[in-house]
Amino acid sequence: MNFPAVRPRRLRATPAMRRLVAEVKMQPQELILPAFIREGITEPNPITSMPGVVQHTEDTLRRAAVEAVENGLGGIMLFGIPTERDARGTAGIDPNGILNRGIKAVREEVGDDLVIMSDVCLDEFTDHGHCGVLAADGSVDNDATLEIYGEMAVVQAQAGAHVLGPSGMMDGQIAVMRQALDEAGLQNTTILAYAAKYASAFYGPFREAVDSQLQGDRRTYQMDPSNRREAIREVELDLAEGADMVMVKPAMSYLDILSDVAEMSPVPVSAYQISGEYAMIEAASANGWIDRRASIMESVLSIRRAGADTVLTYWANEVAQWLREGR
């Protein structure tokens, strides 16, 4: 049958009809809020390139976690910014370091009512800004970095993280972390692997958010934006090493990758709507060029439609509130 008997517009006739037949429906519990805690500040510090996002104190981070619970979010992903850095990122393995204190504070505040996630990476903690320690020739030493990642994983889990997010793209990082956790009696700690993380130009505002000291780039370990098949290889390796969930990052420019991963993954798939994606929409809406709310909702929906089970987004709380209003 064809037109005039077939009229697809019938299923678009009213808002109620469109809601009824929507192929993808979003829920607050599918959203994860990335949040930053900074050492040495007494008030939240606004991030200028990300309007509405701040570096938290411990007290305001606690409040942000409570708000996330109240809005029905699925989780919170924590990043720490220390006052002192060194070449090995030792603040990252200090049980009293700022990230581990933040994890502990959030766990004390919300318990198991929110899935507490934490970033396992050295870039916030090193004085050179790379995701691993450096060899004598200035390259990132993969295997020496793995040892530190294992220590970080155990310390963060002991601080109270339910889920660890290794984002450094070191070869073998999942296997090393899983072994370290299991040997420490932390078999129930979950690993969300940043399995396909690309060397993107859209990370710019995040560098301000974590006060990055990076000189140069991370193209020797993050993935080449030209490569699609390689993402499947990376995911397969992480799964073989024991990843419980996998992530694609960024989201917007890599929806094809996300779709590929979602198609083959036997475990839940996340995608990270990164700082540059956030900043562009905020800038365009501030200039009156686009409708802010509609653009945010469409952008998050596109990530879910491409196959993400969960989405890390700085708009998590707002989107959750809008979803509730819509119901």
- CATH number of the domain that 230 lies in? 3.20.20.70
DSSP assignments along 281-308, one per residue: HHHHHHTTSS-HHHHHHHHHHHHHHHT-
135 in any annotated domain: yes
Longest dimension (CA), the chain: 73
The whole-angstrom separation of Cα 312 and Cα 163 is 14
11 in a domain, yes or no?
no
Q: What pLDDT digit, counting tens, does each position of 119-141 carry?
A: 999 999 999 988 899 999 999 99
- The 3-state DSSP class for residue 79 equals strand
| Residue 248 placed within a domain | yes
Binding site feature residues for Mg(2+): 234
Containing domain of residue 183, as a range?
A: 25-325
16-45: pLDDT as tens digits: 999 999 999 999 999 999 999 999 999 999
92 in a domain, yes or no?
A: yes
253-289 pLDDT, tens digit per residue, is 999 999 999 999 999 999 999 999 999 999 999 999 9
Is residue 10 assigned to a domain? no
Average pLDDT on 41-60 reads 95
In a domain, 36, yes or no: yes
Confidence at residue 219, expressed as pLDDT on a 0 to 100 scale: 80
Which long-range CB contacts under 8 A does 137-141 form with residues at least 24 apart? 139/220, 140/170, 140/220, 140/221
Length of the chain, please? 327
Instruction: Please state the pTM of the whole predicted model.
Output: 0.95
> Would the pLDDT of 209 be above 80?
no
The count of domains in the chain is: 1
Beta-bridged to residue 91, according to DSSP, are none
CB atoms within 10 A of CB 127: 12
User: Would you list which residues are annotated within the binding site for 5-aminolevulinate?
Assistant: 207, 218, 275, 314
The amino acid at 248? V
Q: Could you tell me which residue, 94 or 219, shows the higher pLDDT? A: 94
The C-alpha atoms of residue 128 and residue 122 are separated, in whole angstroms, by: 10
Residue 66 near residue 35 (C-beta atoms within 8 A): no
The tokens for 133 are 């320690």
Look up residue 205 and give its amino acid. Answer: P
Say yes or no to pLDDT of 181 above 90: yes
User: Does residue 5 form part of some domain?
Assistant: no
Q: Are 265 and 235 in contact (CB under 8 A)?
A: yes
Which residue(s) pair with 92 in the sheet?
none
What is the three-class DSSP state of 60? helix
Residues in the annotated binding site: 207, 218, 234, 275, 314
**Catalytic residues, which ones?**
197, 249
Q: Give pLDDT, residue 301.
A: 98
Note whether residue 19 is domain-resident.
no
Q: What is the pLDDT of residues 221-233, one digit of tens each?
A: 899 999 999 999 9
pLDDT band at 1 (very low <50, low <70, confident <90, very high): confident
pLDDT of 212 reads 67
